[in-house]
């Protein structure tokens, strides 16, 4: 939780939540992505445009996101409990021939169905974008509705089955975080069978990710891994990656 304050003044503490409203002025041909759905661009000069995003739900500062650049995008619209959820997969244009969006979208849709059933709640955000970014210093980050991934997960050559499975786990891990750590209010509950041996109060605290201490952060990450592992086997077994990469 050390990056948001590099962009704007804030108290970076996960239990201090607010609605964020972003306005971005950038080259008109760029893709501009944030936590809220991307609005229509307003021309503001020669080759320049402004995007005025609607306010986010109440979220922690560390999961806000602004991503802008000459990205290419493939779109889909899965159906969830809240209805249709716009889904986008972004990458550099030079990587578009290697972006296996159909497989990524299929995995994401399976994840939507699993997590909504297990948590008995709807996906909480208006859209879900997956952005494969260059020069990224981590594997992925669970920004609300705008997850960023290292572009090494866009495979440009034959890769090992282990790396394919690692990408599947990472994608599902970040999708799990759309609920884990982002829950708000007093109704942050999850069935004991899903997270066994964890007291109800602790489960609620982890769902809210209220604390800054490292033990809570580690626990929340571990729970996301546990949830993702619950479906990665069946998802991977039925994935077309098995046919492509053998």
Residues classed as catalytic: 174
If you write DSSP's letter for every residue of the chain in order, what string do you get? --SGGGTS-----TT-EE----EEEEETTSEEEESSPPPPPEEEETTEEEEEPPPPPSEEGGG--EEEESEEEEEE--EETTEE--EEEEEEGGGGGG--HHHHHHHHHHHHHHHHHHHTS---SS-EEEEEETT-SSSEE--TTEEEEEGGGS-SS---HHHHHHHHHHHHHHHHTTTTTT--SS-----TTTSTTS-HHHHHHHHHT---SHHHHHHHHHHHHHHHHHHHHHHHHTSTHHHHH-
């Amino acid at each position: 939780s050390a990056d948001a304050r590099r962009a704007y003044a804030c108290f970076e503490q996960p239990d201090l939540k607010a609605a964020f409203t972003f306005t971005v002025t950038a080259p008109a041909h760029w893709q501009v992505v944030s936590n809220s759905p991307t609005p229509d661009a307003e021309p503001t000069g020669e080759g320049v445009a402004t995007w005025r995003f609607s306010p986010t739900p109440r979220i922690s500062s560390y999961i806000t996101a602004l991503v802008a650049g000459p990205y290419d995008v493939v779109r889909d619209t899965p159906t969830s409990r809240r209805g249709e959820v716009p889904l986008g997969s972004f990458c550099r244009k030079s990587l578009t021939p290697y972006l296996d969006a159909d497989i990524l979208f299929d995995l994401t849709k399976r994840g939507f169905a699993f997590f909504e059933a297990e948590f008995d709640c709807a996906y909480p955000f208006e859209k879900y974008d997956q952005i494969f970014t260059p020069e990224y210093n981590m594997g992925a980050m669970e920004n609300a509705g705008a997850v960023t991934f290292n572009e090494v997960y866009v495979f440009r050559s034959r890769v090992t089955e282990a790396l394919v499975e690692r990408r599947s786990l990472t994608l599902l891990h970040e999708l799990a975080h759309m609920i884990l750590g982002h829950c708000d209010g007093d109704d942050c509950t999850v069935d004991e069978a899903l997270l066994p041996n964890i007291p109800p109060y602790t489960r609620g605290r982890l769902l809210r990710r209220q604390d800054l201490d490292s033990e809570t952060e580690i626990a929340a990450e571990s729970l996301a891994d546990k949830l993702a592992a619950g479906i990665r086997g069946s998802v991977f077994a039925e994935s077309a990656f098995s046919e492509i990469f053998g």
